[in-house]
């Protein structure tokens, strides 16, 4: 069952709205910040519009102002000048409490309260909102399921969990009051590569199913390209170097800084962004043609790799039932990059 099905079914059961809150639009307008005692700006005249439901990644080298930018959105850090609007309303027009009720915040290691159980951590906001004990309990159970955690973990303390589990609890806690916006600050950094990749995949799935707006900070450009619909690349001083889709950033780095930051193999990395079922394929060829087959869920990069391995210039593409649904030639892949 999908996470959304779980989510809506159990939401109905608990008598709450069966539809989760949609994403919010964030607009940063000429936002600047300089910490007192420091000469250089942490963020300089940053303007950025993040559309509702978007997965926006802020990426850049250490110290370039990513965390500061994120924390200005939920007012953990005060801005010096400019304005931040959420759904058209300045963040200064509401109380901090009301503002943060609509924003889930996830940091490395989940930022959990060590003296509280998993259930206690996840239920924090619903309890503050005055939900009944029964409703809080139900919500905790559905969030554990949503975050891919076993119900039996509810009474454990954070120290009794793996890093990946702690991060899942942090995400569940951030989603507890169903906020339209999630801010995530390098949440997966402390995890080993396998767990990290799994959590990235699950976050993508949650984003598709819950349609929240996510602003995700990382210094890892590959993580940014994998997760973001849109990527804001920042450079020292919180200066915006480029704001665009992953494909456009790889295809046309706006300047030398971006080109260098993004790194090598841009063409192959662009091909990895597209699955065969997302592109126009040439008509299916007869099985008798004897071409090697590739699944339509494979990326174009994987298809090209297979052509090189099998020394063929074309592949037959098959759908999940194993039926031929098209074909791809080497030239078609190259043409996608134009």
Toward Mg ion, which CB reaches closer, 33 or 270? 33
Nearest-CB residue to Mg ion? 67
Answer for the pair 38, 68: CB distance below 8 angstroms, yes or no: no
Determine, following the binding rule CB under 6 A, whether residue 38 of this chain makes contact with ligand ADP: yes
Determine, following the binding rule CB under 5 A, whether residue 67 of this chain makes contact with Mg ion: yes
Residues 44-103 that bind ligand ADP (CB under 6 A): 60, 62-68
Per residue, the 3-state secondary structure of 102-171, as one string, reads CEEEEEHHHHCCCCCCHHHHHCHHHHHCCCCHHHHHHHHHHHHHHCCCCHHHCCCCHHHCCHHHHHHHHH
Which of 15, 239, 264 lies closest to 139 in space, CA to CA? 15
With CB cut-offs between 5 and 8 Å by kind, which of ligand ADP, Mg ion, none does residue 123 bind?
Answer: none
Toward Mg ion, which CB reaches closer, 20 or 67? 67
Number of residues that bind Mg ion (CB under 5 A): 1
Toward Mg ion, which CB reaches closer, 10 or 67? 67
Shortest Å, Cβ 219 to ligand ADP: 7
Q: Is 271 exposed, middle or buried (0-12, 13-18, 19+ CB in 10 A)?
A: buried
- In the list 13, 17, 18, 35, the residue contacting ligand ADP (rule: CB under 6 A) is 35
Shortest Å, Cβ 131 to ligand ADP: 34
Q: Which stretch binds Mg ion (CB under 5 A): 29-37, 61-69, 104-112, 329-337?
A: 61-69
Q: Which two tokens stand for residue 80?
A: 């010096």
With CB cut-offs between 5 and 8 Å by kind, which of Mg ion, ligand ADP, none does residue 57 bind?
Answer: none
Helices first, then strands: H and E counts in the chain: 14, 13
Toward ligand ADP, which CB reaches closer, 180 or 238? 238
Determine, following the binding rule CB under 6 A, whether residue 138 of this chain makes contact with ligand ADP: no
Q: Which two tokens stand for residue 182?
A: 């999630």
Q: Is 259 exposed, middle or buried (0-12, 13-18, 19+ CB in 10 A)?
A: middle
Which of 233, 227, 175 lies closest to 202 in space, CA to CA? 227
Binding residues (CB under 5 A) for Mg ion: these are 67
Binding residues (CB under 6 A) for ligand ADP: these are 35, 38, 42, 60, 62-68
């Amino acid at each position: 069952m999908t996470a959304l099905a779980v989510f809506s079914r159990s939401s109905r059961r608990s008598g709450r709205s069966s539809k989760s809150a949609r994403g919010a639009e964030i607009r940063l307008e000429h936002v600047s910040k300089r910490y007192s005692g420091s000469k250089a700006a942490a963020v300089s005249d940053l303007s950025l519009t993040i559309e509702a439901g978007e997965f926006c990644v802020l990426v850049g080298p250490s110290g370039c102002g990513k965390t500061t930018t994120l924390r200005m959105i939920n007012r953990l850090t005060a801005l010096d000048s400019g304005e931040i609007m959420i759904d058209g309303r300045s963040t200064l027009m509401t109380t901090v409490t009301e503002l943060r009720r609509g924003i889930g915040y996830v940091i490395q290691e989940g930022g959990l309260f060590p003296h509280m159980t998993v259930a206690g951590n996840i239920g924090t906001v619903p309890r503050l909102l005055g939900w009944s004990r029964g409703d809080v309990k139900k919500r905790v159970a559905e969030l554990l399921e949503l975050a891919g955690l076993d119900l039996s973990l509810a009474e454990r303390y954070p120290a009794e969990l793996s890093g990946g589990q702690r991060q899942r609890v942090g995400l569940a806690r951030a989603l507890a009051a169903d906020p339209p916006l999630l801010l995530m600050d390098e949440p997966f950094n402390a995890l080993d590569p396998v767990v990290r990749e799994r959590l990235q995949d699950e976050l993508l799935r949650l984003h598709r199913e819950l349609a929240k707006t996510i602003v995700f900070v990382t210094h890892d450009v590959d993580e940014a390209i994998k997760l973001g619909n849109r990527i804001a690349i920042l450079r020292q001083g919180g200066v915006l170097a480029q704001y665009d889709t992953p494909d456009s950033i790889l295809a046309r780095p706006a300047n030398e800084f971006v080109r260098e930051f993004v790194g090598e193999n841009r063409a192959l990395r662009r091909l990895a962004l597209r699955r065969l079922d997302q592109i126009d394929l040439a008509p299916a060829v007869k099985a008798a043609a004897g071409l090697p087959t590739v699944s339509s869920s494979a990326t174009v990069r994987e298809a090209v790799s297979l052509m090189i391995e099998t020394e063929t210039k074309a592949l037959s593409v098959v759908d999940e039932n194993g039926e031929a649904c098209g074909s791809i030639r080497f030239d078609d892949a190259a043409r996608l990059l134009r």
